[in-house]
Structure formats: structure tokens, C-alpha cells
Amino acid sequence: MTSEKKDQTVDDIVNDIVKYHGKDFEERMKKLEEFHHPDKQHDLMFQQHAEYIVKGKPSDDKGFPGAYRVAYSKLDSVLKGRLDKFGDKDDEMIKSVLESYVDTFLQSALSPKQKDALKNLKGDKEQILKMKGKLFAIYHKTDRGTIDPFSEDFIRQFKGKTKQESIELLKALAESSIKGYTSYLNTKIYRSLTDEHDLLHLPDYVVPKMEKAGLKHPDHPLTRDHNELINDYITFIKGGDMQKRGYKKEPVA
């Protein structure tokens, strides 16, 4: 059995990497290679961290009670029977369930200073709810845009729904929260270690490594954009399927 002396937390890793923003190209690429090395398993770590925030961590109930679990308990307290329903005028009751979800999520996602700032906000209940919704949306971007659980459209989903149906809505929110927060973390890493001007350096840095491995893309590197080349290289570092990225395997000289 092997073990590191001290496991880094997700916050440790992210805080270390954001320091590389604006550094020289090669320095950032070395950090990119280190972060995406398969042995580090950072992708899995980030996904599990998001799952702990949303679903809870069995070994740390206090640190990660789980937004879904807390909201489920709140729902349990406002709708007793499995077929009890939210009415058309139960906005406040629905908001109380969603607020318990968002509060628990933000307690794990925000930094200590950010949590203090949130605690000290001056405003009425609705104004503070709007702020919480905006904060939550930072971590919860989907293909259809951001999600504000306190918006009229979101709350309307629960109206007329039974307790059982409301549980399914919370499950859907939980799954999209995990995806959204994982994406947020990975995007933060990506933006810290890459820059659009890297396009000037990427062909000379990436292409020789690909060619050494017998990989060639049909399009000339100068005709491809920054995101394509970076994502090619990340896939290469991870040992992923380069054919799906459009590369062909050629004999190595």
C-alpha cells in the first residue's frame, strides 16, 4: 500500500494553480502536464468533491452534510404524506426547501471570507435570496445557461407536485449540481493555465510530442484554434483516445 504524506484538498490544488495565471507559457504547460497526469486522478477527485457537496460525505457529515440530504429533510418536514402536494400559493414553503439546499451547497463551496460576507449581507429576505441564487448560479452552469433555484420558473416546477414528485425534482437538481460544480472547477483550472495567445507557442510545443508518439492530425496546426490544440494535448497527457480527436496513428521513424 502506498500513501502520500498529506493529501491535498481540492481548495489546495485550485489555490496553487490559480497562481500560475499570467506566468510564462512553458511554466504553465509543465503545471498542466502535472495536473492532468493520469496518476494524479484529479478529474475523479473533482467529481467526488462535487458529489460530497451535493450528496454528503459519509466520513465527514459535519463538513459535508450534503445539499440534497438537507433539502430532503426539509421537504420531509413540510410535506408529511408521500402524496401531499405543494399548492399554487406555497411559494414560501417551496423556497424554504430550496434555500436549505442552496445554503448547504454554498457552505461547502464558498471560502471562509465569502461565507462571512454572505452572513453579513444587509437586505430583506427576498433580496438576500436573490443574492444566494446568483451565487449558486456561479457554480451551476448548464448547456441551457445558469440555474437560479429561486426564480419563478424554477419554483413553478414544484407547484401541484406530490412529495414523491418533488423528491425527483431535487434529485435532478442534485445531478445537475454535480455536473455544474465539476465543470466550474475544471474551467477554473483551464483558465488559469491557458491563454488564447498560447496559440503562438502551442504548435512548436505540442506537435513534436504528438509526432514522437506517431500521431498526426490532418489539419495543419496553424489552422487550428487554441482550444482545439490545448484539448488535444490534455487528451494526450491523460492517455485518451486521440483518434476521437481526429488524429491518425503513423509509424514512428
Name residues of the chain where pLDDT drops below 70: 1-5, 253
Q: Which of 168, 189, 210 is the last residue of a domain?
A: 189
pLDDT digits (tens, 9 = 90+) for 35-89: 999 999 999 999 999 999 999 999 998 889 999 999 999 999 999 999 999 999 9
**Cell representation of residue 181:** 460544480
Q: What does the pLDDT read at residue 142? A: 75
CA angle 119, 53, 87 (to 5 degrees): 75
> Do 152 and 61 share a structural domain?
yes
State the Cα–Cα distance between residues 191 and 214, nearest whole angstrom: 29
> Do 178 and 59 share a structural domain?
yes
> Do 98 and 174 share a structural domain?
yes
Name 91's Cβ contacts closer than 8 Å, sequence gap at least 6. Answer: 155
Structural domain harbouring 152? 50-189
**Cell representation of residue 229:** 490544440
> Do 103 and 18 share a structural domain?
no
> Do 94 and 120 share a structural domain?
yes
What's the number of domains the chain is made of?
2
